[in-house]
Chains A and B, each alone.
Chain A
Amino acid sequence: MKTRIKEFRARYDLTQEELAKKVGVRRETIVFLEKGKYNPSLKLAYDIAKVLNSNIDEVFIFDDE
């Protein structure tokens, strides 16, 4: 799964630390999400999309594989 978190973060001038604090996770979790190395729960995906003023399908790009 790919994500556009980094792009959205840059748009809203948010650091990984700030985003992590806003959604209540560790910074490492945001790092792994951005690398596409971690599949978040639906709630975390929703929270991140909400903080980034966007929809889940805009922030997270699901592969069919």
Chain B
Amino acid sequence: MKIRTDKSILRFSGIAVLLIITGILMMCFLSNPAYFGIGFALIIMGIVAIVSAIIGAATPKEDMIQDERSVRINEKAGYHAFCILLATMALLQAIGMVWGLNFNFKVIIPDLFIVGVGSWVILRWHYNQRGDIT
């Protein structure tokens, strides 16, 4: 596995390290508990950024090219995932009306989010395998 050391990767890693250092300094030297929470959040953000940078550096540059085919796949999958999301919401509303379940959409938003993102990922994979994107 080849690790890339592009300028963008190094810049992103630098920002991630800076976030972690800022978080540690805030947790160590500021006595206010609110700053402790912010510092902790900064450290978590920094760790997530470092992991993302490592994944990005390990991915070959050719795989990152956004050519016209991948753009079309993303657009088509996004449109169809949105349609699925709307259909799911309509279906839930209809089921709720028929059986009097009274769905609280504020509560089921995370589930709808998973349906939307999940269908986008699956459709992207499907269109990528199929090939004939028009």
Contacts and interface: CB of A to CB of B under 8 A. Distances in A.
Interface of A: 17, 20-21, 24-29, 32, 35, 37-41, 43-44
Contacts of B63: 26
A26 B131 contact: no
B68 A40 contact: yes
B131 A35 contact: yes
Interface in B115-134: 128, 130-134
B69 A20 contact: no
A28 B130 CA distance: 11
**Dominant SS at the A interface?**
helix
Contact of B65 (A26, A32, A40, A44): A26
Contact of A20 (B62, B68, B133, B134): B62
A14 B130 CA distance: 25
Contact of A26 (B70, B130, B133): B70
A45 to B, nearest CB: 11
B67 interface: yes
